[in-house]
Every structure is written in structure tokens, then in C-alpha cells.
Structure 1
Amino acid sequence: MSSDIHALSGAYAVDALDDIERAQFERHLAECEACRAEVRSLREATALLAEAVQQEPPAGLRDRVLAGIDTVRPLPPLTSPASAPLTPVVSSDADALGTPASSEASGSRRTRRRFPALVAAASVAAVLGLGGVVASQPWKDETSQPPSAVDQVLAAPDAESWEQRMDDGAKVTLTRSEKLNRAVVTAEGMPELTDEQVYELWLQHDGRMVPAGVMDGESGTLLLEGDPSTAEAAGITIEPAGGSEEPTTEPIMTFPFEQV
């Protein structure tokens, strides 16, 4: 049990004492008006906490918090003033009889007794200040993902693009980043192929075409395989399903890298 029975008022208010402590504190409570007032205030505070209703946080709360997180300077921790040097106290007859030596000591005890009430009051103020909203804060954005390799190429500072169109309006754009040594092809509205055909991408090295990937459909984005930074050009052919090791048809598009 606590050496300061006044400190048990918070635990008593929320029924957190055992039978022995409760009996002892209730005997004290009958003689201490300060503790009775403190218990009443704590019980009122806990009753208000029970009225909180779980709701969805306001729309845009997370965005506003994250938008300002880089501009808010954390405050330094609160520290207590340096304690004054202790002065020896000469005992008096009053001290010997148990009379407090100064009002400072009794004030300190009152502060200790009021601390649980202040904590409870702060909790209530926080709940009421939020309009009774009790919700987990979405500080962690679990849906965010690092940029993909395709996104990195398209957003690279040295990215260069070349676009070609077919007579039927189909468009193919090749984007290459020499620094990342990656290239991306984006196709829109390519002519439909049979189930036995695919569009295959190629990188040209020393005049030889090297497989760089297969497009499954007539539109989409493909990260090329291989080494585009040392390639001379890129091309697209129509190949049997699954692709080929070497082109079996003439390229329907070529992208000379010296022009990209």
C-alpha cells in the first residue's frame, strides 16, 4: 500500500484497490474533505470518458497532419527549475510534536494529491476537445509503396523519350535513362494479334538484335530487359507466341538510340 494514503484517491475512484486498501482509504475518506472532493471530481471525469463515441476521423485529417509534419518544430522537454540548496533546519519544540516546519511541505503534499486529478482532467479535456472522437491515428501509411522500376525510369532527370505512330493511330513511346541503364516501352492501340502471336521487343548490340521482352497485349507498359545504355537501337517485331531468340519478321518499329 502507498505510504501516502492521499495518493490512493485515483485508484479508489476507478475501483482499483483491494479490500484491505479500500477499507483503510474509506476510513481516511471519512476524515479528509480534500480527498472526498478529489474522488468526486475523478468519478465525474471517468463518467465523461465513457460518453466518447467512436467515429471516423474528419476527412483530410491525415493529409493535413502529414502536410505540416515537416514544418512543426518539436518543443524542448519541460524541465524543473534547479532546486535551491538545502538549508539545515534546527528542530524546534513544534517539530518535535509533529507540527509541519513550513507551509512549503504541506503544499508539496497537496500537489502530489492533486496530480492524479490533473491527469484525469487532461484526459477528459482531450476527449471533449476532439468532439468525442476516439479513433486510431493513421500515422502509418500502409498503402504507400516505393516507386517501381518503370516509374523510376519515367521520372529520371536524364530520361529521354521517342514516339512513333502507325497508320492506324497506334502509338509507341520508348523512354530510356542512361544513368539507370533502363528503358521502358509504352504501347497504345497496337493492332490486335492472333493467339499464336506476340509483340517482341529487341535491343540492338553491334548490329545484332537481342531479346528484351514480350508484350502480352496491344496496349501496356514494358520494362525492357538487357543493357539499353550500350545498345544502338531498339525494335519491335511480331513473333510466335512465347517469343523468339532471333527476329523472324521485319521490325514494325525501330528506335535508333542516337536519336532518342
Structure 2
Amino acid sequence: MNADIHGLSGAYAVDALDDVERAEFESHLAQCPECRAEVESLRAAAVQLTRVTATTAPDSLRASVLDQIKTVRPLPPLTPPADTGDTTEGHRPVAGVVTLESRRWRSPVTWLVAAAAAAVLAIGGLVWSPWSSDQPQQPPTATEQVIRAKDAQRYEKVIDGARATIVRSPSLGKAVIIADNMPAAPDGKDFQVWFQNPDGEMVSAGLMPHEARPSVSMVLDGDASKYTGVGITLEPAGGSPAPTSEPIALFEFS
């Protein structure tokens, strides 16, 4: 019996063998506890895949899959192994039969068929997720809610090599500041963030971290929907009730 027959466990579990191969593998299966255990494991996994969550695919998915299919290079046609002239027992060529020896190199085709089946499911309008629908999902953070909001507005400035971005969602009434390459505030000082109201008055919206950080984000305190901008000033440590210096950056909401 060819040793490569052990590699047919996966194809057998998903019923991808022809009649000749199935009969030969089942004969082997009766004598091989390792293959029996593997087949049982694969079939159990297949049962778990039926417990899936169906999600409506985006409209662009069908066109994307069809475009990608055009770039796949087709495999050459399958041919029986060449006759080497060896007529010893176990190596005699049989006309019209693709042997298990020849299947050794074409076994990946089974997995290509499985991938194609997944693509068909996607084209059909559903994307299948192999996890139970009752699996707990982490709710989005307050920052993520603002960034993902449909009406999110972005305002960006570069300040002495640091990039500061304000993201505001009027519908949520919230705004987030995201700073990259944020330097440390000078000793005895802190960077303070302010909302600007329509009259030009500045209202404290929070303090930035004092130490230098490669990236920092924070949700600003206050109803962002009623203000016209955001400013950043350098204030005494712990912050001030009102700005004591001119803004080092001012973001005006359009």
C-alpha cells in the first residue's frame, strides 16, 4: 500500500474521492487507527463549520471575486504517470487509471476546489464566519465610535514634527484628539485642550499626557456638537480654568 494514502484523509472526510480511491482508502482505513482518528477529527470540524454567522456581503464583493478569478493561472491537464518499462509486481501500468502515486502531486487540487466553493458562497451574497453567533463581541470604545461615525469630520495639523488630528461626530456630540510623536511638556507645564464656542470663548476639554509618547488618543470632555473649534495651549502643570497663552494649534470646524 502506498504510504501517500495517509494524505487522503482530508479528501475522504469531505467526500472528494472517486469510487476507486474511496474503496482503496476504506480498505486502508480499516487497518489504520491514525487515519480513522484523523477522519473523525475532520468530520467533527466540518460539523462545527455549520454553526456559522451569516453576514450580508458588500455589493463590491461579487465584482472583486470575479476580477480575481481572471488572474488565476489554470493547472495543466491531468495525465497518467509515464510508463517506465518497469513491469514488476506493484508497478505495472494500467491503461486509463490515474493511480494513487500520480495523485500525490495533484492532491492540492482538492483544496483549490474547497477555496472555489468558498468563493461561490461569497458570490452568492453571504460571507460565512466560522464562529458561533452567541460568541461575545467586544463593544467599540468611545474613540472607535467617534472615528467610525458616518458623519465623522477630520481636522489635521503638524506642530513641530508632531501630527495632531481632531475627529468630531456632531451626531454623537463627541470629539477625539489623536497625536503622533507627541513630545513631553516642559517641566512645570502641561498641554491643555480647549473647545472654542461661537463667541470665541475657550472651554477646557482635558489635559494631554505629560510624558512623551509615540501616539496618544483621548475623547474630549464636552458636547462637541455645539462648539466651533478646538485649541491646544501650554499651561501650568495641572491645567488652567482659562488659557494663559496663545494656542499653539487651533482647529476650526467647517
Query: What is the TM-score when the length of structure 1 is the normalising length?
Result: 0.46
In our comparison, the structure showing a higher alpha carbon Rg is: 1
- The structure that is strand-richer by fraction is 2
